[in-house]
């Protein structure tokens, strides 16, 4: 992957068939990355990480931080501005892995 988020994102599979990704901590706390404006890049990154690692653990978090490229630097400078990157930073720093489940988009019949 290059050092540019847009180029990295272009190399990842689309998320047309997803409504979101549900993430669960070891304590059972759940959060969702929804397919909405401003989150679709994160949805693609997390989908890729799940396909490759099966969970969001330290190895997945490290790869994710590389994929986010310049946004990772911004997240380090401005904690809270990029919650999906903050989550990866915490895991990479020794935090607990997250279980995840893909949420399929509803099909119209």
- The DSSP element (H or E) to which 86 belongs, if any, is helix 83-92
- Give me the residue spans of the domains in the chain: 5-104
How far apart, in whole angstroms, are the C-alpha atoms of residue 64 and residue 58?
10
Instruction: Give percent above pLDDT 90 in the chain.
Output: 88
Q: At what angle do helices 83-92 and 58-68 cross, to 10 degrees?
A: 140
How far apart, in whole angstroms, are the C-alpha atoms of residue 18 and residue 103?
6
pLDDT band at 22 (very low <50, low <70, confident <90, very high): very high
Whole-structure pTM value: 0.92
Mean pLDDT within 71-99: 97
């Amino acid at each position: 992957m290059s050092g540019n988020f847009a180029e990295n994102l272009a190399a990842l599979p689309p998320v047309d068939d997803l409504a979101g990704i549900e993430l669960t901590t070891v304590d059972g706390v759940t959060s969702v990355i929804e397919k909405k404006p401003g989150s679709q890049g994160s949805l693609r990154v997390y989908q890729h990480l799940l396909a490759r690692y099966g969970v969001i653990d330290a190895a997945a978090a490290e790869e994710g931080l590389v994929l986010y490229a310049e946004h990772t630097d911004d997240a380090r400078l401005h904690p809270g501005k990029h919650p999906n990157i903050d989550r990866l930073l915490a895991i990479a720093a020794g935090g607990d892995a997250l279980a995840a489940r893909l949420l399929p988009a509803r099909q119209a019949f």
